[in-house]
Structure 1
């Protein structure tokens, strides 16, 4: 008889406990996640912070956190974190015990392996009673974004011509300063030649001053990134890693040109994520926010061809540009593309080719 009452009491207790957790497990439970930076460069590390709070008297004997993140972000090893990675997304699963009125704050070091716009839309929390008889699930919207800019390379890594930049090369007009033209003075920066120091201005101001050099031509630069690997390519990108290298070239050239005070623009026959499926065109400018605009555009660029590059250059020609340098970053110099480039030359513009080298496969 006592055993029967003991079993009945246990069943009643389990039933009440299950009912309590069914109604109250998710009350007072909050979850937030954020990055310590809104944007970083490819190859850099950013910190992601998670905060889970249980603002009630009821303890949570088990709590499972699940989220899906793109594979371009690499998380370091951490306790209570299992990662199951696929080609595009990786699933993160964590298990916790959360005491009453307790908050857990976790810091993740995340290496940004690829450029792009990374979104974390939601995270799912599952919890229940101590025996696991019932469970409650709630999805927490996050609306979290991280921009990863393409890596800025050293100038020596660009496939520039091996011969002298002095002459009629379009490249040298925005990379090389003319030593015979000066436009004032400025403070010394690391890397400035000792021969450029203005000793009179240095003595007068008390800080190291150098001659501010001007440039041999006041041309504008338009960086043209071509996603095609041939004149006959259609929509799909055949070698995305090679195009990613071209994107790094474009970012590096834009950085160098804008640092030199050159108005710099950008065109590409891809399109931006979340935007209309239209080719990308940014007018040349030397404004303070131009580099940020170009980096954001390159980060959001989708590797999907919208139109052929010869067609884009024909649209440019219809606007009758003059005194503009066009840098064609491309995998090929096909007949149609070369013909469009020659037309730009005949209109009084400069054209320079930067061929993206093939990337050897690693086995």
Structure 2
């Protein structure tokens, strides 16, 4: 009951006591009856209001997310007024929000449309939707109901690559390689004359019969690229003044490399040293190397939800993950800065048969001492300050 209604009843009681007549009492009965009827009406109709929200729950940066909101009055009573207020994420809707007031007849419905801009990677709640109504005279406070929130995933930005210099020691793959160590017997590109010591299985008997001389098949060298990416989002490993931009850049790098590898029909996996709001313990779960577009989508969703974490050292995570890596797997570590302890751990992974690449992300990540130390250990170190540097790195690397 609102304060003005209580004041009105008190005034009517005083008038009735002073006049000692039936008119004031009749007014009191009417007000109390209207108040009770309005409360019953509002409560009954509000419980019969059903809402449905439709939108694409996944989007890439730059896309528009169109939301279709339907409100249905399932009661046999009209709703004089119904206020709708949708809670929207600031990162997608900016300062704007959805708010509207509508009248619904018995069994009636209303439809609303609004849109959000997928401007930033993340995992965002859309809602809750607050629905409120009250009596037409305004004698009682409005009643409010809440409709649950749904979530939208905005994938990280992907920088398209044409080539990346990612090393591999795994033979018999589908990627061409300059080294003739591993040859793919399914990819013949020519023939030559037989030389003593050539395997008889390489002889092309049809070509030998037509030329009258033994001919040997030549095969293209190839590799299989199995890559495990470790993305470090521990805040202590990024410089404070550029931490936000640097961690976002690190996620873009991980997403872009994963996309390039899987598009080449190779296997990629991601382990994030960060937080995931969907997991029970809040820690991001590792995704082992797999192929296919479905696996790529899972990788991108994991990176979309990834959040920075505090007091989570990187080295123990590398130690835990490298024991699960097959021989010849490429290990790409993306972080904000490195030290001798990290390089020593990566060198140990290299000694165990892995191919290690270290990528330092952020404007303050460049350290020539670390580069020189990495080169002495056989570990390539790349500094990427902005997304533009990704394009430069792509142009400078040799095609596999």
TM-score > 0.5 by shorter chain: yes
TM-fit CA distance, 1:99: 4.0
Q: Give secondary structure in 2 for the equivalent of 1:302.
A: coil
Residues of 1 paired with 2:294 and 2:156: CA distance? 17
Residues of 1 paired with 2:243 and 2:29: CA distance? 64
Q: Which has the higher helix share?
A: 2
Residues of 1 paired with 2:257 and 2:24: CA distance? 77
Q: Is the 8 A contact 1:269 1:306 kept in 2?
A: no
TM-fit CA distance, 1:265: 0.9
| Counterpart for residue 27 of structure 1 | 44
Q: Is the 8 A contact 2:232 2:334 kept in 1?
A: yes
| Counterpart for residue 298 of structure 1 | 303
Correspondence list, 1:1-363, <5 A: 15-28=32-45, 29-56=48-75, 58-74=77-93, 83=97, 92-120=98-126, 122-155=128-161, 165=165, 170=167, 177-178=176-177, 183=186, 216-228=222-234, 239-275=243-279, 276-278=281-283, 280-305=285-310, 307-319=312-324, 321-358=326-363
- Tell me: CA distance 1:280–1:305, structure 2 relative to 1, closer, same or farther (3 Å): farther
Q: Give secondary structure in 2 for the equivalent of 1:32.
A: strand
Residues of 2 paired with 1:312 and 1:93: CA distance? 46
- Tell me: CA distance 1:15–1:269, structure 2 relative to 1, closer, same or farther (3 Å): same
Spell out, residue by residue over 1:43-88, the C-alpha distance to the aligned partner (whole angstroms, 9 max, x if none).
Answer: 3211112111234454433322234333222279xxxxx63xxxxx
Spell out, residue by residue over 1:225-273, the C-alpha distance to the aligned partner (whole angstroms, 9 max, x if none).
Answer: 112465599xx99713321221122111111101101111111211321
Q: Is the 8 A contact 1:263 1:285 kept in 2?
A: yes
Residues of 2 paired with 1:237 and 1:311: CA distance? 26
Residues of 2 paired with 1:133 and 1:47: CA distance? 38
| Counterpart for residue 207 of structure 2 | none
Unaligned 5+ residue runs, structure 2? 1-20, 189-218, 364-384, 387-400
- Tell me: CA distance 1:121–1:45, structure 2 relative to 1, closer, same or farther (3 Å): closer
Residues of 2 paired with 1:171 and 1:71: CA distance? 43
Q: Is the 8 A contact 1:325 1:350 kept in 2?
A: yes
The more displaced of 241-250 and 12-21 is 12-21
The more displaced of 323-332 and 334-343 is 334-343
Q: Is the 8 A contact 1:221 1:324 kept in 2?
A: yes
TM-fit CA distance, 1:96: 2.9
Q: Give secondary structure in 2 for the equivalent of 1:43.
A: coil
Q: Is the 8 A contact 1:266 1:284 kept in 2?
A: yes
- Tell me: CA distance 1:232–1:242, structure 2 relative to 1, closer, same or farther (3 Å): closer
Unaligned 5+ residue runs, structure 1? 77-81, 84-91, 186-212
- Tell me: CA distance 1:172–1:232, structure 2 relative to 1, closer, same or farther (3 Å): same
The more displaced of 272-281 and 308-317 is 272-281
Q: Which has the larger radius of gyration?
A: 2
Aligned residues: 306
Residues of 1 paired with 2:83 and 2:221: CA distance? 61
Aligned-pair Cα RMSD in Å: 3.8
Spell out, residue by residue over 1:182-211, the C-alpha distance to the aligned partner (whole angstroms, 9 max, x if none).
Answer: 8579xxxxxxxxxxxxxxxxxxxxxxxxxx
The more displaced of 347-356 and 262-271 is 347-356
Q: Is the 8 A contact 1:35 1:146 kept in 2?
A: no
The more displaced of 19-28 and 124-133 is 19-28
| Counterpart for residue 86 of structure 1 | none
Q: Which has the higher strand share?
A: 1
| TM-score normalised by the chain length of structure 2 | 0.65
TM-fit CA distance, 1:355: 2.3
| Counterpart for residue 206 of structure 1 | none
